[in-house]
C-alpha cells in the first residue's frame, strides 16, 4: 500500500489517497486490511477525506463473483467488509462491463 497526502495548488482541498495491490493470499490481505485501518486512524490524517483505490483481490458480496452459482459470503469477504466499515470507506460500485476477462483472455 502506498499512501499519499494530496494538497492541490491554489485550492483549499486536501485529501489522502491510498493505492492498493492486495495479495491473493487471505492471510496477507488481512495484514493489509489492518494496515489500512491503522492508516485511516492516524492523527495526522484525521478528518481528511480518504480515497482507496487499486486491486483488492477480494469482493464485497457474492453478486460480484464471476460465477453465478457463488452465493455465499466467505471469511475473506467478511474481513474486507469489516475493514471498509472500520475505516468508514464506502464502495462507489462500478459501471459498465462487469467482467473484462475470462480464463486469462481479454
> How far, in Å, CA of 15 to CA of 31, rounded?
24
Closest CA relative to residue 20, chosen from 49, 58, 48, 46 = 58
Percent pLDDT > 70 in the chain is: 82
CA quadruple 70, 57, 60, 90: dihedral, nearest 10: -160
pLDDT digits (tens, 9 = 90+) for 42-90: 998 888 999 999 999 888 876 776 666 666 668 888 999 999 999 999 8
Q: Is the four-CA dihedral 100, 16, 37, 30 of positive or negative sign?
A: positive
Query: What pTM value is reported for the model?
Result: 0.77
Crossing angle (nearest 10°) for helices 26-40 and 75-86: 10
Contact predicate 65/25, CB 8 Å: no
Amino acid at each position: 500500500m502506498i499512501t499519499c497526502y494530496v494538497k492541490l495548488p491554489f485550492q483549499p482541498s486536501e485529501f489522502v489517497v491510498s493505492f492498493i495491490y492486495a495479495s491473493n493470499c487471505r492471510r496477507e490481505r488481512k495484514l493489509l486490511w489492518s494496515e489500512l485501518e491503522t492508516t485511516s486512524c492516524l492523527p495526522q490524517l484525521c478528518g481528511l477525506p480518504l480515497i482507496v483505490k487499486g486491486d483488492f483481490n477480494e469482493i464485497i458480496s457474492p453478486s460480484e463473483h464471476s460465477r453465478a452459482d457463488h452465493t455465499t459470503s466467505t471469511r475473506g469477504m467478511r474481513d474486507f467488509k469489516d475493514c471498509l466499515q472500520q475505516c468508514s470507506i464506502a464502495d462507489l460500485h462500478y459501471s459498465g462491463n462487469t467482467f473484462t476477462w475470462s480464463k486469462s483472455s481479454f
